[in-house]
Each structure stands twice: as structure tokens, then as C-alpha cells.
Amino acid sequence: MTVLVTHLRMEDPAQLRPAATFPGLTLREVRDPAVNATLYAEVGGPYAWHDRRGWTREEWAGYALAPTTRTLLGTLGEETVGYGELVRLPEGDVELRLFGLRPSFVGQGLGGALLTLVTWEAWQWGARRVVLSTCTLDHPRALPAYLARGFTALRTEAHAH
């Protein structure tokens, strides 16, 4: 099976095209490796996220607690609906490393609103650019959602899976 990986970038905060707001949706930062591990499995399970499945507690802690990593939860009331992980890269870019909704919240119009909040937070963190990658194993609306928010596709690569 061939998987297509698309690399995207946003050069300026003025390029962010906000989605319609979702009443009550807020963003909250957490620094808890167990939260990262749990959401990685829950959000990524349907989309074949597998590169971190064998991580130890120490690996999760090293990643999630690094000063270059921020984990942002999208919440409605006390309920976590999804999350994004931002990673500051050495050259000043901020990578949206992971992003997604918990399965029970997919299809309710939350994705674009949460993506807007997380992308804006990357700019507030002092990003030179915001970068990300998505692939054909992700939700079918992932790439269109990134493009709708103002990201530009730079290149697409084929990988054997």
C-alpha cells in the first residue's frame, strides 16, 4: 500500500483563516505525559498512528515535558474533545506535530474551530512559520481542513506502508 504524505506550511499569522467558532470550545495546556499517551492512542487509533505505540513512560515524559513541546487540549466544559501537540523546531518554526479529535467528537464541526485555536497558539508562541504533515491514513477531511485554515501544501511524497 502506498501512503501519500503532504507537507504544509503557514508563513504568516495573517494567512490563518479562522473556522466558525464552536460555542464553549476552549483551549487548555497540559504537561502530563499520561495525557499525551492516552490521547495519542485514542485519537490516532483509527488512523494507524503507530510510531509511538512502544514508547516507555520515560520516553513519553522526555517528549511531553520537554520545553520545546506544548500539549493543548480542546475542551467543552470538563470534556476533552481533541488535542494538538506543538513542537518548537531549532530554526524557529513551530510544528503542529499531532492534531485530532477523540472519535466520539468527529463530525460535529469541532475540528476546524479547534485547529484555528491551536494554530493561533502556535503563532502566539512566537513561530517563525507553522508547519505540519498529514497523510492519506489520516481522516479524509484532514488535508482539506488544513488548506481551509490557510496552510499551503509544499510537496507530497509517496511512501510504502
Determine the pLDDT at residue 8: 98
Q: How many structural domains are present in the chain?
A: 1
Tens digit of each residue's pLDDT (9 = 90 or more) over 112-127:
999 999 999 999 999 9
Q: Is pLDDT of 161 > 80?
A: no
Q: How confident is the model at residue 160 (pLDDT cuts 50, 70, 90)?
A: confident
Least confident of 70-74, 106-110, 143-147: 106-110
Distance (Å, whole) CA 92 – CA 46: 32
* Those residues with Cβ within 8 angstroms of residue 109's Cβ, 6 or more apart along the chain or in another chain: 20, 22
Q: Is pLDDT of 148 > 90?
A: yes
Q: What is the pTM of this model?
A: 0.95
Q: Is pLDDT of 27 > 90?
A: yes
* Those residues with Cβ within 8 angstroms of residue 124's Cβ, 6 or more apart along the chain or in another chain: none
Torsion of the alpha carbons at 142, 139, 111 and 121, rounded to the nearest 10: -50
Range of the domain at 142: 2-160
Tens digit of each residue's pLDDT (9 = 90 or more) over 37-96:
999 999 999 988 888 999 999 999 999 999 999 999 999 999 999 999 999 999 999 999
Q: Cα-flanking dihedrals φ and ψ of residue 82, to 5°? A: 180, -175
Q: Is pLDDT of 159 > 90?
A: no
Determine the pLDDT at residue 50: 86
CATH number of the domain bearing residue 102: 3.40.630.30
Q: Is residue 138 a contact partner of residue 3, using CB atoms and an 8 Å limit?
A: no
- 53 compared with 132, residue with greater pLDDT: 132
